[in-house]
A and B are shown apart, each in its own frame.
Chain A
């Protein structure tokens, strides 16, 4: 079975440009998470969707960040305008939280963003 699929794997852009990261969760999973990983702050939860609805976006840094999940098989994380401090690895993860108590998270391979 395919895992969580993220694109692009690497993105290099200039400050001020719009960046869109994409995620396809595992089929049948009802929960989707976006995380950001940096050396300074480790792994940070940005936003959590359940059944395509944003439940908690308190981790989104500021209004420059937005996320959508138009259907159960696709999500985007957009940064507009991008800044050098947004440089990080962005992970998408999905899970089936309804039925399983332990609710393992399945991570994608990440999108490494570099903003010059």
Chain B
């Protein structure tokens, strides 16, 4: 079945460091891909998305490119801030279905 695998956390970085959180997927159809972020004590909220191969989603300085050849959707940010500390979830949804498949989440901690 469809699945999402993302890197284990926690990831601890200093402020202004470069961030990469790896995400790979397995899907039988043509999925849409998402990154959601969960700040402490809150629900998940959409960070960015991409709906087809080679699309780049971006928001708040974060970027991720839909790579069909490597079945990946890695999250990157050039310079992280303390306020980026949160748990990040990679997810997919196959077109025509309702099911969202979430990864296990990667906790990011940014130190001042």
Q: Which A residues contact B (CB, under 8 angstroms)? A: 4, 31, 33, 42-43, 45, 48, 50, 55-56, 91, 93, 97, 101-110
Contact = CB atoms under 8 A, between A and B. Distances in A.
A45 B99 contact: yes
A109 B43 contact: yes
A18 B41 CA distance: 24
Contacts, number: 53
Contacts of B51: 101-102
Contact of A101 (B32, B44, B104): B32
9 contacts: A45-B99, A48-B98, A55-B98, A102-B49, A102-B51, A103-B32, A103-B93, A103-B98, A104-B34
Contact of B43 (A31, A101, A102, A108): A108
A110 to B, nearest CB: 5
B98 A31 contact: yes
Instruction: Choose among B41, B43, B98, B103 the residue with the greatest number of A CB atoms under 10 Å from its CB.
Output: B43
Contact of B98 (A97, A104, A107, A108): A97
A97 B51 CA distance: 14
A110 B40 CA distance: 11
Contact of B89 (A4, A43, A101, A108): A43
A4 B43 contact: yes
A42 B43 contact: no
A42 B104 contact: yes
B49 A110 contact: no
Nearest to A104: B46
B98 A110 contact: no
B108 to A, nearest CB: 16
Given A102-B49, A104-B49, A91 B105 contact: no
Contacts of A104: 34, 46, 49
B45 interface: yes
Contacts of B34: 102, 104
